[in-house]
Amino acid sequence: MYYEELKTFITLAEVKNFTKTAEILHLSQPSVSLHIKNLEKEFQTKLFIRSPKRLRMTPTGELLYDRAKQMVALYEQTKQDILEHHHSVKGKLKIGASFTIGEYILPPLLPDFQKRYPELELEVMIGNTKEIVELVKSYQVDIGLIEGQTNEKELSVHPFMQDELVIVASNRHELAQKEEVTIAELQNEAWVAREVGSGTREYFNHFIRSNGLKVKSLMIISSNQGIKETLINGNALSLLSRSVVARDIEHGHLSIVRLNHPPFYRMFSYIYAPIMENKQNVRIFLEALQTNWTGVSQ
């Protein structure tokens, strides 16, 4: 297996620049060129089309790119599994988490987890639900934690926690000052929402559609913190996880709009590719999830 060559190929395919690839992999530029030539000789095909202005993959290069990521991931997992077989819990665990989970749900769990497994290197990558699904599919993370839905049949999806969403606004907002608010009173209001691809945005769209609400204006911000700061300084509403705004409510920075309506709930889920199911580091992380949130299925 051309492990080093495949790693070089994947990096070059993504950054599309020989010099940058050499810098990222700490190689010389001639070494990068040699790795690509070795692969082209092995597979008897041209992998890139070079021109003075751009570098692009050939159709066979595109085919190899998808397979190369799988081969490298399988090699690294096998190496990790052998290491785990002979030693205590070591190596690396890559966790992908959507914003709400990665910024507010996961952090309280991590210190105790690392204390229990000090030789395990943790890496957390945060993005929206769509981005985390892609990271799991491409084996860039071992396990993903998402707040939205996914219909990817090649992934294993398991709910692990119920989350409540609330409508929030600045303390000055007219609706925040009422004892009780009806759904009808949410008509023609300004809203601040997450970007498309976010699980929170997915639920917001469902909430607006299912209640027949007309939106006066909509501002899109791809950050929970950015949304909260905008609410504090403006006069709009937002639908966010209670875990995201709990501290802001406690400190009096934001207020929950008290709706005359049953609470809004959704499920958080963990996802992984089947190839990761028996990986020891993934299993011990799922055990930690189970300890913190009852009802986690494996």
Rounded mean pLDDT of 120-129? 94
Average pLDDT over residues 135-144: 94
* Three-point CA angle 144, 150, 151, nearest 5°: 130
Structure tokens, 268: 């958080």
Q: Which residue has the tokens 């009852």?
A: 294
Query: At the topology level of CATH, where does 3-72 sit?
Result: Arc Repressor Mutant, subunit A (1.10.10)
102: tokens are: 């990665």
Spell out the SS3 assignment of 189-223.
EEEEECCCCCHHHHHHHHHHHHCCCCEEEEEECCC
pLDDT for residue 93 is more than 60 = yes
pLDDT greater than 50 at residue 219: yes
In this structure, the chain runs to a length of: 298
Q: How many CB atoms lie within 10 A of CB 279?
A: 19
Predicted confidence at residue 90, as pLDDT, reads 74
Domain boundaries, the chain: 3-72, 84-161+267-292, 163-265
pLDDT of residue 84: 66
pLDDT 10s digits, 6-32: 999 999 999 999 999 999 999 999 999
Mean local confidence (pLDDT), 124-147: 94
pLDDT value for 294: 52
Which CATH number, 3.40.190.290, 3.40.710.10, 3.40.50.2300, 3.30.1340.10, labels domain 163-265? 3.40.190.290
Question: What global pTM score does this model have?
Answer: 0.69
Tens digit of pLDDT for each residue in 154-177?
899 999 999 999 999 999 999 999
Question: Stretch 60-66: mean pLDDT, rounded?
Answer: 93
pLDDT at 86 over 70: no
pLDDT at position 11 is 94
Is pLDDT at 149 greater than 70 in this prediction? yes
Residue 33 CA, distance from chain mean position: 33
Other CB atoms within 10 Å distance of the CB of residue 16:
14
pLDDT higher than 60, residue 277: yes
In this chain, the answer to whether the domains covering 3-72 and 84-161+267-292 adopt an identical fold is: no
Q: Distance (Å, rounded) from C-alpha 104 to C-alpha 201?
A: 17
Give the whole-number percent of the chain exceeding pLDDT 90: 78
pLDDT, the chain, mean: 91
Beta bridge partners of 161: 268
| Dihedral Cα 193, 199, 204, 209, nearest 10 deg | 130
Of 54 and 210, the structure prediction assigns the larger pLDDT to 210
pLDDT tens profile 262-276? 999 999 999 999 989
Q: What fold does the segment set 84-161+267-292 form as a domain?
A: D-Maltodextrin-Binding Protein; domain 2 (3.40.190)
pLDDT at 254 over 60: yes
Per-residue pLDDT at 116 exceeds 70: yes
Q: Report the range of poorest mean pLDDT among 19-28, 86-95, 199-208, 228-237.
A: 86-95
pLDDT at 296: 47
Question: Which pLDDT score, from 0 to 100, does residue 298 have?
Answer: 46
Per-residue pLDDT, 279:
85
